[in-house]
């Protein structure tokens, strides 16, 4: 549950710069979510970071979200749309039935082992 909470909070941060600022100013806002201490710190680090363009979604917070059990489809879809929107990429295609059907996001697929490590 907490991994999905992290993804949900991150989605809100990406969609609403004001929420990111609120978290940075008042970390107690995160008390309403079921988070581990590590997840809370990752969100606080993200809230205080100046991130844009190609760096969006490339930090340790997304590393935490990306590896592990797949997120529920609505959470994964919302996060994918928010990441694309924040990076200035098209988000509309991610809202269609093709996206929902195949779970195209790496954080919505279990990683599979390979010779070089884990791959999507």
For 71-105, write each residue's pLDDT tens digit.
888 888 888 888 888 877 766 655 544 444 444 55
The first and second tokens of residue 58, run together, are 């490339």
The first and second tokens of residue 24, run together, are 């940075």
Whether the CB-CB separation of 5 and 12 falls below 8 Å is answered with no
What pLDDT, on a 0 to 100 scale, did the predictor assign at position 81? 85
Q: Rounded distance, CA 50 to CA 63, Å? A: 18
In the block, tokens 């970071």 appear at 49
Q: Alpha-carbon torsion 11, 14, 17, 23, what sign?
A: positive
What pLDDT, on a 0 to 100 scale, did the predictor assign at position 50? 66
Q: Which residues pair with 114 in a beta bridge?
A: 117
- Going from N- to C-terminal start, the domains of the chain cover 2-119
| pTM, entire model | 0.71
What pLDDT, on a 0 to 100 scale, did the predictor assign at position 109? 54
The first and second tokens of residue 76, run together, are 């994964």
CA-based radius of gyration for the chain: 14
Mean pLDDT by 10 residues, the chain (120 residues): 88 90 93 93 86 61 83 88 80 50 50 46
């Amino acid at each position: 549950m907490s991994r999905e909470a992290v993804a949900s909070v991150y989605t809100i941060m990406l969609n609403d710069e004001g929420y990111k600022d609120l978290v940075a100013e008042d970390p107690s806002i995160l008390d309403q979510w079921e988070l581990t201490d590590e997840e809370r710190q990752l969100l606080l680090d993200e809230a205080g970071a100046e991130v844009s363009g190609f760096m969006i979604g490339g930090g340790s917070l997304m590393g935490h979200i990306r590896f592990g059990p797949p997120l529920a489809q609505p959470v994964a879809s919302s996060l994918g749309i928010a990441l694309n929107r924040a990076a200035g990429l098209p988000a509309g295609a991610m809202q269609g039935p093709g996206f929902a059907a195949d779970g195209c996001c790496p954080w919505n697929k279990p990683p599979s082992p390979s010779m070089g490590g884990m791959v999507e």
